[in-house]
Amino acid sequence: MTKANKATMMAISLEQFARPDQSSSMLLGHDLKTLRVPVTWTTMKTSKTVLKALFAGADGTDTSTSAEYDDYGLRRLVQDLASIATRHTAFVPEQLRDVLADDDDFECGDSAFGPNIYNQDYWGGGRKTTTPPPPLSGQRQGQGHGEEDIDDNNNTMILQELNQLRDIINNTVRCQDLGRSEAAWNDKVHSRMLDLGTKLVEESVQAENITRAKIAGPFIPDGPASILSSSGAASAFCGVVDGTGVGGSSFSSSAIPAKLVDYALALQFSDPENSLSRRLVQFVATQSRKASSAIASSSRATRPSQQPPLLQPSGSGDPIISSSSAGDGTGAASLPTFHMFNQTPYRPLVYAPAGVFIETKVEGGSLDEGRLQLGLWVSAWFKRVSMFGGLVSDAPQAGGQVGGQGSSLPLPIIPLALVKSDAWEVFFARQSSTLLSYSSSSTSFARARARAQAQAREDEPRIDIIGPLKIGGTGDLASAYQLLLALRRLSFWVQDRSGFCGWVEQVVGM
């Protein structure tokens, strides 16, 4: 395609973007693919192809078998979630077998019941362990004989949980019948489900509602200059110098949706004296000081009489995010520009690394819009953490890394949940220079591998979001238990020192 044709098509796309009556489903995928680091959603048909897409290299070999490779528990996580999604592992407490036998709202086979499903070591393929679940130590093994036989001291939580799930299901039905808003769904259904899903690790992992969180100026995803320099769509993309004062063209903050994602599963320790919690505070402060020094040097060299755009001086010497770039209504404007681990100055996430992001939609909501929101959010997250010194990323970074280069610590794969009404799906976002997408239809694996090799030779950095795994929902009791186990598995991964928490420890130098 000639440059003239590309320019014409770009102009047409921008003109369509500005039309209020244009279908968003025709535009949102295009928007993400035009980022400087393109974001591509790849839909796989089976859990097997999800695993291949995530862990097979361009030559078709399994990258996770390398002795030097550390996937931070991601392969195990994906395998376990796939087992839950296909119901190949137990997901209902064994003690409820007889309790639910005559329940008209519950329909599942015997294989759905397991004795130790709350145990962190019990995952995949119906594997049994002899270690009791953490909150139910001392519980009886074997089958129960009805509600009256469940031990009051050790198993009360199981009955409470059953009642809570029934309430959530009833709320789901009411939300559907009344056509409630996304905010109402979040309040009455999703927040309650997430609270249950993180209960076993609540001292270290929180399901944080982040509907008010916005992307800080320095981490807004970069867009292509050909789009950003166009004046044909005032409401679409426009060029701004991001809050670092050192890099490239970006979406303006006005081009980013007012609300991006709904929840994050974040490392958030209840004990302020926790060693990792204290180290995170020190690490974020150090990153902020290094960034401030680099920005000040760049500013003096290029524009000695001006402050960097979107920055305001503070008494500490650190640049401050202006209200135009922060603006989340939480007092984030008082934080230095880089004074955050994640990509947002939203206070609950400043020192709380987020390992899972969740976007919710009502029945009539647009999944394409949800993909756009998650895509922008995770793109900004990768952009932010790529700036930590010692992280290796295939993607270009505006202004370079903050704090140095040369280490081999990779970026992690990040789970993303997309929820529509009562149904939950999980995808996985990875940043690399290779498109790892394999078709599960008529195209053979060998042909797909050859295509991936050709794409890899182009050496174009990108973010691939691969999935889905259907992990249950809140529409019926069996699906709710399935979802509950999946959320617990995700929360265990976030707090696991061989999972996301382990990656964070390496980043901060513990």
Predicted confidence (pLDDT) per residue in 159-189, tens digit: 999 999 999 999 999 999 999 999 999 999 9
Binning pLDDT at 50, 70 and 90, where does residue 463 land? Answer: very high
Strand, helix or coil at 399? Answer: coil
Report the DSSP pairing between strands 113-114 and 92-93. parallel
* pLDDT at residue 292 greater than cutoff 70: yes
Q: What is the per-residue pLDDT for 234?
A: 26
Contacts (Cβ under 8 Å, ≥6 apart) of 263: 190, 191, 194, 207, 208, 209, 210, 357, 358, 360
Q: What is the per-residue pLDDT for 475?
A: 97
Mean pLDDT for 138-154 is 44
CA distances from 71 to 199, 259, 317, 379, 405 (A): 26, 31, 39, 19, 21
What φ, ψ does residue 270 adopt, rounded to 5°? -75, -25
* pLDDT at residue 502 greater than cutoff 90: yes
Asked if residue 2 belongs to a domain, the reply is: no
Residue 182's nearest CA partner among 421, 425, 473, 371 is 421
**pTM: predicted TM-score of the whole model, two decimal places:** 0.76
Pairs from 168-175 (Cβ < 8 Å, separation ≥ 24): 168/192, 168/193, 168/196, 168/474, 168/480, 169/105, 169/474, 169/475, 169/476, 169/477, 169/480, 171/474, 172/421, 172/422, 172/474, 172/475, 173/475, 175/362
Question: Which has more pLDDT, 296 or 7?
Answer: 296
Range of the domain at 340: 26-134+143-507
| Tally of domains within the chain | 1
Asked if residue 10 belongs to a domain, the reply is: no
Binning pLDDT at 50, 70 and 90, where does residue 222 land? Answer: confident
The answer to whether 416 and 375 have CB atoms below 8 angstroms apart is no
Question: Which has more pLDDT, 1 or 200?
Answer: 200
Distance CA 283, CA 299 (A): 24
Of 148-152, 153-157, 283-287, the range with the lowest mean pLDDT is 148-152
Read off the tokens for 421. Answer: 């009404």
Residue 504's nearest CA partner among 338, 270, 342, 285 is 342
Asked if residue 19 belongs to a domain, the reply is: no
* pLDDT at residue 190 greater than cutoff 90: yes
Report percent pLDDT > 70 for the chain. 59
Mean pLDDT for 198-221 is 94
Question: Which has more pLDDT, 29 or 489?
Answer: 489
* pLDDT at residue 147 greater than cutoff 50: no
Q: What is the per-residue pLDDT for 347?
A: 95
Q: What is the pLDDT of residues 98-144, one digit of tens each?
A: 999 989 889 999 999 998 776 655 543 333 433 333 333 333 333 34
For residue 392, give the DSSP letter. E
Asked if residue 4 belongs to a domain, the reply is: no
Binning pLDDT at 50, 70 and 90, where does residue 251 land? Answer: low
Distance CA 33, CA 24 (A): 15
* pLDDT at residue 464 greater than cutoff 70: yes
The answer to whether 101 and 126 have CB atoms below 8 angstroms apart is no
CA distances from 34 to 139, 454, 497 (A): 55, 20, 36
Q: What is the per-residue pLDDT for 29?
A: 56
Q: What is the pLDDT of residues 366-403, one digit of tens each?
A: 999 999 999 999 999 999 998 887 554 443 333 333 33
**E strands in 372-493:** 391-392, 409-410, 414-420, 423-432, 462-473
Read off the tokens for 377. Answer: 């959010």
Q: What is the pLDDT of residues 253-269, one digit of tens each?
A: 555 665 689 999 999 99
Strand, helix or coil at 352? Answer: coil
Q: What is the per-residue pLDDT for 174?
A: 98
Whether a cis peptide bond, with omega within 30° of 0, leads into 468 is yes
Asked if residue 293 belongs to a domain, the reply is: yes
Report the DSSP pairing between strands 311-312 and 391-392. unpaired
Asked if residue 192 belongs to a domain, the reply is: yes
Binning pLDDT at 50, 70 and 90, where does residue 289 land? Answer: confident
* pLDDT at residue 204 greater than cutoff 80: yes
Asked if residue 387 belongs to a domain, the reply is: yes
Mean pLDDT for 424-447 is 61
Burial class (CB in 10 A: 0-12, 13-18, 19+), 405: exposed
Asked if residue 1 belongs to a domain, the reply is: no
Mean pLDDT for 192-216 is 96
Of 15-29, 39-53, 64-78, 488-502, the range with the lowest mean pLDDT is 15-29
The answer to whether 261 and 349 have CB atoms below 8 angstroms apart is no
